[in-house]
Amino acid sequence: MPRYFFNVEGGPYPDPDDGIDLKGPGQARDAAVTLAGEMLKDADGKFWSGPDWRLYVTDEQGGTMCLLSIKSTLA
């Protein structure tokens, strides 16, 4: 199975990802959305006072295959 890397900027996992083996790009994209939701749940209200997050998934060749940009705006 191919390996994917879930990189998080601004959020709770600043360290480079060791990667995880998944079935393919579809599962990696689904997993990115789930991970974003899980991170937001744990962040609670702290997200408002911190920087915006970028969650992007890269493959073994280093290519970015999807990006989730999580921004906050206080009206």
Partner 1 sequence: MGADALIRKLEQFTQLTEDEKRLLGDATRDVRDYDRRQDVIREGDRPDHVHLVIEGWAARYKLLPNGDQPIMAFLIAGDLCDVQVTLLDEMDHSIRAISPCRIAHLPRDLISNILQQGGRLSRALWWATLLDEAILREWLVNQGHRQADQRVAHLFCEMLLRTKAVGLTEDGSFELPVTQEELGDTMGLSTVQINRTLQTLRHGGLVTTTGRWVVVNDLDALMSFAEFDPIYLHQVNKRARLLQVGSS
Give contact residues for partner 1 (rule: CB under 8 A).
Answer: 6, 8, 12-13, 15, 17-18, 20, 31-32, 34-35, 38-39, 42
Q: Which is nearer to partner 1, 57 or 75 (CB)?
A: 57
Cα 17 to Cα 48: distance, rounded to the nearest angstrom: 25
Q: Which is nearer to partner 1, 30 or 52 (CB)?
A: 30
Q: Which helix (H) or strand (E) holds 55?
A: strand 53-58
Cα 63 to Cα 52: distance, rounded to the nearest angstrom: 22
Q: How far is the CB of 5 from partner 1 (least distance, A)?
A: 10
